[in-house]
Amino acid sequence: TGLSAMRRGVLIVVEGLDRAGKSSQCEVLRGFLSEQGHTVKYIRFPGIQLNCIASMYHWSNASIDRTTPIGKLIDSYLRGSSHQDDHSIHLLFSANRWEVAKSIEEDIASGTTIIVDRYSYSGVVYSAAKANPTLSLDWAWQPEIGLPRPDICLFLGISPEEAAKRGGFGAERYENEAMQIRVRELFQTIFEKMQDVAVIDAGKSMGEVSKEIRGAVTGCISRLDITSTLRKLE
């Protein structure tokens, strides 16, 4: 009946190094959850393609693939066509999440499950990997506090050797070996201490990886109190 408790959506984050297959696995997971009867949305950071963003900026439906003003600044930095101070770009990545925080909360509350391709964990790890003396992991985490907290974070781990087999790196900033090695170490550091994280060996076949992901997500959903509200990062 209308009085029965409202099922909230589930906030699922997928993290990992470049070449780990995050985006493809997000797509497979989305298909699986839809078949299970969930209403599912996929979003990614940086560069957001969301209906709610479009309406926030009063864009027509035709332009929902436009990024936000902050997303555009990040994009030009990553392509190497603009420079930013390390702290400044870090805060822009965080601001990019804050500008959708409210709509994520609203979607989850109204029953939509969201799959997020990269989140605060990439945020802190990539920035701290620059080894800037005034940009520690601790410093980097501060602007993330208060953002919606994922119900589960899937970390797709992949070895440097396996990543290299998959076609090497692209031309974007951070897509180089030294950076990726530090990023891998820092992901390990933060996920060791974290709850609600499932470490997945993304070096396996596509089918095996998606099976592991389905298992982890199904377990999370069965444990979740769906009458609860979404928690916040702290």
- By CB under 6 A, name the binding residues for ligand TMP: 18, 45-46, 78, 93, 118, 122-123, 126, 174
**Which range touches Mg ion (CB under 5 A), out of 16-24, 38-46, 122-130, 159-167?**
16-24
Q: How far is CA 27 from the centre of its chain?
A: 13
174 binds, among Mg ion, ligand TMP, none (CB under 5 to 8 A by kind): ligand TMP
93 binds, among ligand TMP, Mg ion, none (CB under 5 to 8 A by kind): ligand TMP
Minimum Å distance from CB 82 to ligand TMP?
Answer: 14
Q: Which parts of the chain fold into alpha helices (H)?
A: 22-35, 51-56, 69-78, 86-109, 120-128, 137-141, 160-165, 177-192, 206-223
Angle at 151 between CA 149 and CA 156, to 5 degrees: 100
DSSP 115: E
Minimum Å distance from CB 82 to Mg ion?
Answer: 17
The span from the first CA to the last CA of the chain, in angstroms, equals 36
11 near 230, Cβ under 8 Å?
yes
Q: Quick one: 59 or 174, whose CB is closer to ligand TMP?
A: 174
Residue in the block written with tokens 């201490």: 193
What is the number of the residue whose Cβ is closest to Mg ion? 18
Minimum Å distance from CB 218 to ligand TMP?
Answer: 25
Residue 117 contacts Mg ion per CB under 5 A: no
